[in-house]
């Protein structure tokens, strides 16, 4: 008997009122090498953004640290403040010339960064603004309170978190409504399964960063390769389709600087996986 194909929810309501297609676009890689400086061709980077929207992407994720500032600026110039497209950004990481990502959760710094993000994105209110990473040198609650104050001021519509534990999520939810969590997660890296389940319980969107890292190395996990061959798809498409099937609150945001790769990634939304496929993929993490 043939195995059944799965059904998945196609959209998610961020914060209860921003309905988006669940497969979005991550705008980290439209910058220069090592996510520093400008891309080699800014026109091409803007074309990727416009093409994503043309293909139905209505959720674009970026951060003030991508460039830094470059990704936000390009989004503002390419898309403006578009109706029907949710643009999310993040604050809380400093960059240096060596390319380090340095946590900086000082409330005054965060409040300054949102002003910069608003200007670069060309908007008066950012749809979703996320605390990029907890700072061990700053009280977590004080940092979250800064985001709550931005929301109260109308600078941001919804607050998100990134790289947090379940305990930090629960602490933040006592301060302000949390719309999303963005943690590293993919078919081959599921250390934050408990965070995903906490998001499900609270109807919080879960944005898995590095959604295709399991297939970015030299060796593709055997199960991914086998499913890709059966479905006449790429391993990356299978990895994205698994994320969409794994939970109704996942919002994968694959990123690229290429229109061709963009179109290939977005095709994952139409990829149907069977129960047999999912069982094989579910077992990948335990085989590491």
Tokens of 74: 């390009």
Q: Is 212 helix (H, G, I), strand (E, B) or coil?
A: coil
The span from the CA of 238 to the CA of 223, in Å, is 10
Q: Of these residues, 66, 129, 131, 185, which one is catalytic? A: 66
8 A C-beta contact, residue 117 and residue 89? yes
Per-position DSSP letters for 48-78, written without gaps between them: HHHHHHHTT--EEE--TTTBTTHHHHHHHHH
DSSP secondary structure of 39-53: -S-HHHHHHHHHHHH
66 annotated active-site: yes
Secondary structure letter of residue 33 according to DSSP: G
Q: What is the dihedral of CA 212, 214, 219, 224, to 10 degrees?
A: -80
Give kind and range of the element (H or E) at residue 209: strand 205-209
Active-site amino acid positions: 66
């Amino acid at each position: 008997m043939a195995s059944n194909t799965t059904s998945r929810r196609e959209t998610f309501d961020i914060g209860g009122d921003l309905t988006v297609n669940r497969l979005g676009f991550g705008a980290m890689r439209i910058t220069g090498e090592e996510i520093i400086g400008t891309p080699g061709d800014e026109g091409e980077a803007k074309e990727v953004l416009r093409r994503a929207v043309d293909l139905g992407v209505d959720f674009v994720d970026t951060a003030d640290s991508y460039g830094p500032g470059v990704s936000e600026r390009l989004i503002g110039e390419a898309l403006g403040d578009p109706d029907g497209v949710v643009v999310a950004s993040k604050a809380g990481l400093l960059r240096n010339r060596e390319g380090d990502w340095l946590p900086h959760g000082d409330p005054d710094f965060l409040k300054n960064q949102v002003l910069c993000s608003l200007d670069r994105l060309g908007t008066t209110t950012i749809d979703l603004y996320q605390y990029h990473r907890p700072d061990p040198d700053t009280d977590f609650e004080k940092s979250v309170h800064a985001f709550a104050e931005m929301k109260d001021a109308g600078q941001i519509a919804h607050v998100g978190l990134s790289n947090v534990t379940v305990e930090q999520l629960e602490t933040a939810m006592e301060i302000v409504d949390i719309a999303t969590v963005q943690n590293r997660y993919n078919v081959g890296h599921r250390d934050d399964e408990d965070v995903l389940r906490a998001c499900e319980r609270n109807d919080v969107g879960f944005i898995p960063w590095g959604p295709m890292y399991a297939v970015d190395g030299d060796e593709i996990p055997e199960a991914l390769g086998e499913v890709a061959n059966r479905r006449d798809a790429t391993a990356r498409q299978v990895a994205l389709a698994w994320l969409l099937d794994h939970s109704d609150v996942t919002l994968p945001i694959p990123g690229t600087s290429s229109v061709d790769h963009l179109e290939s990634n977005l095709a994952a939304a139409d990829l149907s996986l069977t129960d047999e496929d999912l069982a094989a993929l579910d077992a990948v993490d335990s085989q590491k």
